[in-house]
Amino acid sequence: MTQSDSVDIRKPAAAPPGKDAGKDAGKEAGPIEPVSRTRAVVRRFRSNRSAVIGALLLLAIIVVTAAAPLIAPYGPAQVDISDRLSGPTAEHWLGTDTLGRDTLTRLMHGGRVSLAAAALAVVIATGIGLPLGLISGYFGGVVDWLLDRAADILMAFPAIILTIAIIAMVGPGLTTAMVSLGIVYAPRMYRVVRGSTLEVRREVYIEASTSIGTPHLTILRKRVLPNIMPAALVQLSFLLASALLAEVTVSLLGLGALPPTASWGSMLGQAFLEMRTNPSLAVYPGIAIAIATLCFNLIGDGLRDAFGRETRKAS
């Protein structure tokens, strides 16, 4: 009963580790749970049916839209005046629009533009919000106070109004619209990252790094950043969903994608003009937007649940 694992300590430390199985005999048995953390998160995500459906569907959408120039039956701007506003036919599965352009083709090309636009806005929001949130949450003090007030002010306006205001200053166009939206979304990413950093900042392992003498930037990069990533990723997928909807709004108002470029938003905008005569035109882009948004939200929920259960297990 009283024997201990003292033997191990007395071994010359220089011995090559892990070579001799016999010398490990006195050591403690394997770790409690040989399941890597990332793998556990992935497995929990995969066991969440709606999240998996969302992810697969989104993957399909991305593949189809990315490959649009190769697989689309027509050109996106290919006009056929003789075959305007046709319903679904063998040549045009989803019919044509007022200029006789193939709706399926435009949906595929439009998805490319819409998804890329949403991604651009979120990349910009993250590029601004993530580093500022890290700095604000980690260092605190005056910088934190100023940044936090700035975020308060930006978030006091509805996102879309603010975006339109910025577009009004810079001029319309999908790229400028999405850059504006990125700036408007930056406080949302900032808030989440700052809050998460504030929590991580109080963890003992951060104090441990300080006591080692690790420089602040290294602590931020190697200790804080990996631990706020779950929160940032979840926020990222929700922001993508909102950015996709925002693209619709600005394009609908004619401030986003300019003709003849197809985007889901601009398609919906044009269909909106024909609402009285051809209500069916709005159906397909509407469905595409709804499905893609749902995908992002399902993935966000799935990620949140998968990460959320990472918290300490009950004894």
Partner 1 sequence: MTFTKFTGAAPPAAEDGPLVDARGVSVVFRKRRTLAPARQVRAVNDVTFQIAEGETFGLVGESGSGKSTTGRALLRLVPTAGGTITVAGRDVTALRGGSLRRARRSMQMVFQDPYSSLDPSSTVAGSIAEPLLVHEKMSAKAARARVDELIEMVGLRASYADRYPHEFSGGQRQRLAIARAIALNPRFIVCDEAVSALDVSTQNQVINLLERLRAEFRLTYLFIAHDLAVVRHISHRVGVMYLGRIVETGPAERVYSAPAHPYTRALLSAIPDPRRKTERIVLEGDLPDPANPPVGCPFQTRCRFVMEVCRQRMPEHTAVDGGGEVACHLQTSGPALSGASLNELDVNSRP
Partner 2 sequence: MTAEGKTLLEIEDLHVDFLTDRGWTNVVNGVSFDVGEGEIVGLVGESGSGKSVTSLSVLRLLPSGYARTPAGHVRYRGRDLVGMPPKELRDIRGNEISMIFQEPMTSLNPAFTIGDQIAEGYRRHKGGTRRAAFARAAEMLDLVGIPDAGSRVRDYPHEFSGGMRQRAMIAMALACEPKLLIADEPATALDVTVQAQIVALLARLRDETGCGILFITHDLGLVAELADRVVVMYAGEVVETAPALDLYDAPKHPYTAGLLNAMPQLGVRGRELPTIPGRPPEPWRMPEGCRFGPRCGHAGEECAAVPALRTVEPGRSSRCCRIEQLHLAGSP
Cβ 68 vs Cβ 111: under 8 Å: yes
d(CA 184, CA 160): 8
d(CA 206, CA 223): 7
Nearest CA-CA partner of 274 in 131, 121, 85, 4: 85
Judged by beta carbon distances under 5 to 8 A according to partner kind, the member of partner 2, partner 1, none in contact with residue 73 is none
Is the Cβ of residue 171 or residue 213 nearer to partner 1 in the bound state? 213
What amino acid is encoded at 117 in this protein? A
Question: CB neighbours of 50 closer than 8 A, spacing ≥ 6?
Answer: 298, 301, 302
Q: How far is the CB of 156 from partner 1 (least distance, A)?
A: 22
262 bridge partner residues: none
Judged by beta carbon distances under 5 to 8 A according to partner kind, the member of partner 1, partner 2, none in contact with residue 210 is partner 1
270-295: b (≥16 Cβ within 10 Å) or e: bbeeeeeebeebbebbeebbeebbbb
Is the Cβ of residue 24 or residue 152 nearer to partner 1 in the bound state? 24
d(CA 251, CA 247): 6
Q: How far is the CB of 309 from partner 1 (least distance, A)?
A: 12
CA-CA-CA-CA torsion sign (262, 115, 157, 169): negative
Is the Cβ of residue 3 or residue 211 nearer to partner 2 in the bound state? 3
Judged by beta carbon distances under 5 to 8 A according to partner kind, the member of partner 1, partner 2, none in contact with residue 3 is partner 2
Judged by beta carbon distances under 5 to 8 A according to partner kind, the member of partner 2, partner 1, none in contact with residue 86 is none
What amino acid is encoded at 90 in this protein? A
Site membership for partner 2, residue 6 (CB under 8 A): yes
Q: How far is the CB of 40 from partner 2 (least distance, A)?
A: 6
219-278: which residues touch partner 2 (CB under 8 A)?
none
Is the Cβ of residue 91 or residue 207 nearer to partner 1 in the bound state? 207
Judged by beta carbon distances under 5 to 8 A according to partner kind, the member of partner 2, partner 1, none in contact with residue 211 is partner 1
Question: Residues binding partner 2: what is the number (CB under 8 A)?
Answer: 16
Is the Cβ of residue 48 or residue 297 nearer to partner 2 in the bound state? 48
16-75: which residues touch partner 2 (CB under 8 A)?
26, 28-29, 32-33, 35, 40, 43-44
Is the Cβ of residue 42 or residue 60 nearer to partner 2 in the bound state? 42
Is the Cβ of residue 1 or residue 14 nearer to partner 2 in the bound state? 1
Q: How far is the CB of 132 from partner 1 (least distance, A)?
A: 22
Judged by beta carbon distances under 5 to 8 A according to partner kind, the member of partner 1, partner 2, none in contact with residue 43 is partner 2
Positions in the binding site for partner 2 (CB under 8 A): 1-6, 26, 28-29, 32-33, 35, 40, 43-44, 315
